[in-house]
Amino acid sequence: MRRPTRGDRGQVTVELLGMTPLIIVTLTVVWQFVLVGYTFTLAGNAADEAVRAGTAAHRGERQAVCEQAGKDKLSEAWRSGATVSCSGSGYVTADVSLRVPVLFPGLIDFPFTVHGHAGAVEEEDD
């Protein structure tokens, strides 16, 4: 006499348990790409803010004003590793470099940086 089989009862549970690591890895990779994209956006915005402030500042204080404006709107996670520099006369440029965080901003960063660049014509003093 044959014993009745259960069919595929529990198969969905086994497949879900097998796929869970792949789902977690996929979500982690997607999240990391979101952080990279967000860092590019922050670098571009910081460069825009820095050059805007740099064009209005006097030449002697341009670098300090530019750096302050470039870092002003960054959160602490990105501000700590940020470098901001302004240069030029007549046409002012600002360069911003930010480090890309690994999974959670503020913990550890990748060893590469994202760069933002902006330029604007210097404002005239009246």
Residue 71 pLDDT level (bands cut at 50, 70, 90):
confident
| pLDDT tens sequence across 11-56 | 778 788 888 899 999 999 999 999 999 999 999 999 988 888 888 7
Enumerate the H helices of 1-126 as residue ranges.
11-56, 62-72, 76-79
Task: For the chain, give every domain's residue range.
Answer: 11-121
d(CA 28, CA 48): 30
Query: In this model, does residue 5 exceed pLDDT 70?
Result: no
The one-character DSSP state at 5 is P
Q: Residue 95: in which H helix or E strand, if any? A: strand 91-101
Q: What is the pLDDT of residue 103?
A: 84
Mean pLDDT of 70-99: 85
Q: What is the pLDDT of residue 70?
A: 85
Cβ-count burial of 49 within 10 angstroms (0-12 exposed, 13-18 middle, 19+ buried)?
A: buried
d(CA 13, CA 89): 67
